[in-house]
Amino acid sequence: MPKQIFAKLIKKEKLLDNLYKFSVEAKEIVNIAKPGNFIEIRINENLDPFLRRPISIYNLDKENGILEFIFQVKGKGTKLLAKKEEGELIDIIGPLGSGIFKLEKIKNIAIIGGGIGIFPLYELAKEAQADGLNVNTYIGFRNKDLVVLEKEFQMVSSHLIVTTDDGSYAKNGFAIEYLKSDLESKQIDAIYACGPLPMLKAVKQLAENKNIPCQLSLEEKMGCGLGVCLGCAVKTAGSPKEEPQYIHVCKAGPVFDSKLIEI
């Protein structure tokens, strides 16, 4: 059940130009949140920017009731959010989404993320590792200047591959190429992905070709974030082309079984 809280910003870190990590006191949300859930933030009490901003959860510190999220400054909302100072209260609704990453009856998992899509995968990797699973992580970035959280993902993975599209840091190419070649030699029971649409499409196809269960975390413009406005629609797999059927990222997702949706 989501809650609205006014969470105190206790730590603000600039990870990169335009990339911030906020740590907030959000015990009520942290206690019930699961990997894959997201939150919605009201930027200010003014009516512009108007809508809340959906942001994925990066880390849940259950012991201390701290929630961490990372966001890129992109438009007027995130620009204002980045100006918040430590000690300020942030209006947050969460945890949101009923489609969460599920870790059941599996031993070896692959986690693949691209760019700012890697953030919601961290809590998943952390919990999977704590549950004794083998976590194989593949994270890709455009170039060396955009590489973040390498150490953090190292800590929660038994095997980590970092890639850059231009080869300016670590392995050269797309993360999925390395996952693909590892699938030849490694046993992988499930794949979890979040990132740009072309990457998600490729992961979905790869997983389905290899018949490996796969979950994708999606993004779509949202109105309410609660499942009432029906704005963040995604097509369900197998629905007729002339009459496509839709489910919603905020309520049925944001994490979907790859076979359930068409992207």
* By CB under 8 A, residue 31 contacts another protein: no
Query: Please, which residues bridge with residue 262 across strands?
Result: 235
Per the listing, tokens 């194989």 go with 136
Taking CB under 8 A as the binding criterion, the range among 24-32, 50-58, 125-133, 177-185 that sits at the site for another protein is 50-58
Say which residues have a Cβ less than 8 Å from residue 225's Cβ, sequence separation at least 6. Answer: 38, 40, 52, 54, 93, 96, 250
Helix H or strand E segment including 21: strand 19-25
Q: At what angle do helices 197-210 and 175-185 cross, to 10 degrees?
A: 10
* By CB under 8 A, residue 262 contacts another protein: no
Q: Which of 22, 30, 35, 42 binds another protein (CB under 8 A)?
A: 42
* By CB under 8 A, residue 155 contacts another protein: no
* Minimum distance from residue 233 beta carbon to another protein (Å): 4
Determine the Cα–Cα distance for residues 248 and 231; give it in Å rounded to an integer.
Answer: 7
* By CB under 8 A, residue 228 contacts another protein: yes
Print the binding letters for residues 90-109 with another protein: x by CB under 8 A, - otherwise.
-x-x----------------
Q: Tokens at residue 245, please?
A: 């059927």
Written as one letter, the residue type at 151 is K
Q: Which of 52, 84, 126, 204 binds another protein (CB under 8 A)?
A: 52
SS3 214: strand
Q: Which of 17, 47, 187, 211 binds another protein (CB under 8 A)?
A: 47
* By CB under 8 A, residue 49 contacts another protein: yes
Query: Please, which residues bridge with residue 160 across strands?
Result: 137
Handedness of CA 107, 130, 169, 173 (dihedral sign): positive
* By CB under 8 A, residue 222 contacts another protein: yes
* Minimum distance from residue 8 beta carbon to another protein (Å): 19
* Minimum distance from residue 49 beta carbon to another protein (Å): 7
Write out the residues near another protein by the rule CB under 8 A. 1-2, 4, 42, 47-52, 91, 93, 220-234, 239, 243-246, 251
